[in-house]
Amino acid sequence: LFAKKTRGGYRFFEKTMSLSAVEGVILETDLRKALEQGEFELHYQPQYEVRGAGKLVGAEALIRWNHPQLGQIPPAKFIPLAEETGLIEPIGEWVIREVCLRLNEWKAKGWALPIAANLSVSQFRSGTLVDRIRGILDETGADPGLLELEITESMAMDAGQAYTVLHELSRLGVQISIDDFGTGYSSMAYLNKFPIHRLKIDRSFIDGIDRNGDNAAIVSAIATLGHHLNMNIVAEGVETREQVELLNRIGCDVAQGYYFSKPLPLDRFEALAGKAAWDK
């Protein structure tokens, strides 16, 4: 057992305790304070054009929680908790505002780079999402055309709700992507009814695409489908040059993954984007 001093006194942690065991005990209390204490941070993962010279064409914002005792906690560990507790509403709003502020700064630097933000299920279902996003766009003056919102297939399948919300969002001028495409239980009926601009093919299909003919067939079919519906196709989780070459042959538009870069802290992403702008 070891003790750590915190504002409220001491906390005890068992050395062998997994994060998930600690989670239930303390994370919820800490999560409530994290926003006001400025413990969240967005990392930015660059996205590159597959064809041609591999131009930097955008970024996905991914949240990180810098916990004062536990260090950096990945979203998979606290987003579900944030959803259960309703804390996702203010956290999600913080994410969108941050992204809009970055869009303004980048535009001022002459970078017209779009940024994607992930929406959670409860944010999407809240009934206030459109008003909140409209409010943030008004308040920041960010270019809605550079704001991309990622939802999952299951969110799109939430029939009545999704139809209205997506059309209203689209009217604001923001772009909408389907994240982790191909992994949800969904019919594809929504694809031509909803204003969807991009499909992000889940990384489970990209994994081994260069060795597994079935995955290549699936990715190729998704790309064909998406292109027929005027969508842009993004491959997620691209880790090797062989995958990039195959994605190029298949006709995927954009790639994102460790082969190019991990998600980067803001300063490192800006250094990279600055260099890309210079090289152009």
Give the integer Cα–Cα distance in Å for 59 and 148.
Answer: 10
Tell the smallest beta-carbon distance from residue 169 to Mg ion (Å).
Answer: 16
Q: Does 150 bind Mg ion (CB under 5 A)?
A: yes
Q: Which is nearer to ligand C2E, 120 or 190 (CB)?
A: 120
Q: What angle do CA 116, 119, 120 make, to 5 degrees?
A: 155
* Binding region for ligand C2E (CB under 6 A): 45, 62-63, 74-76, 79, 92, 95, 118-120, 150, 179-180, 203, 237-239, 257-258, 263
Give the integer Cα–Cα distance in Å for 191 and 167.
Answer: 13
Instruction: Name the residue with the smallest CB distance to ligand C2E.
Output: 257
95 binds, among ligand C2E, Mg ion, none (CB under 5 to 8 A by kind): ligand C2E
Work out which of 45, 47, 118, 261 binds Mg ion, going by CB under 5 A.
118
147 binds, among Mg ion, ligand C2E, none (CB under 5 to 8 A by kind): none
Q: Which is nearer to Mg ion, 30 or 205 (CB)?
A: 205
Per-residue contact flags (x/-) with Mg ion for residues 164 to 203, judged by CB under 5 A? ---------------xx-----------------------
Write down the residue that tokens 């779009």 correspond to.
Answer: 114
Give the integer Cα–Cα distance in Å for 183 and 276.
Answer: 33
Tell the smallest beta-carbon distance from residue 119 to ligand C2E (Å).
Answer: 6
Tell the smallest beta-carbon distance from residue 243 to ligand C2E (Å).
Answer: 9
Amino acid identity of 254? Answer: V
93 binds, among ligand C2E, Mg ion, none (CB under 5 to 8 A by kind): none
Q: Which is nearer to ligand C2E, 223 or 255 (CB)?
A: 255
Burial class (CB within 10 angstroms; exposed 0-12, middle 13-18, buried 19+) of 110: exposed
Chain centroid to Cα 60, Å, comes to 5
Burial class (CB within 10 angstroms; exposed 0-12, middle 13-18, buried 19+) of 227: middle
Give the integer Cα–Cα distance in Å for 256 and 60.
Answer: 9
Residues 6+ apart with CB under 8 A from 204: 182, 183, 237
46 binds, among ligand C2E, Mg ion, none (CB under 5 to 8 A by kind): none
Tell the smallest beta-carbon distance from residue 232 to ligand C2E (Å).
Answer: 16
Q: Which is nearer to ligand C2E, 56 or 238 (CB)?
A: 238
71 forms beta bridges with 67
Q: Does 89 bind Mg ion (CB under 5 A)?
A: no
- 226 within 8 A of 177, measured Cβ to Cβ: no
Binding site for Mg ion (CB under 5 A): 118, 150, 179-180, 236
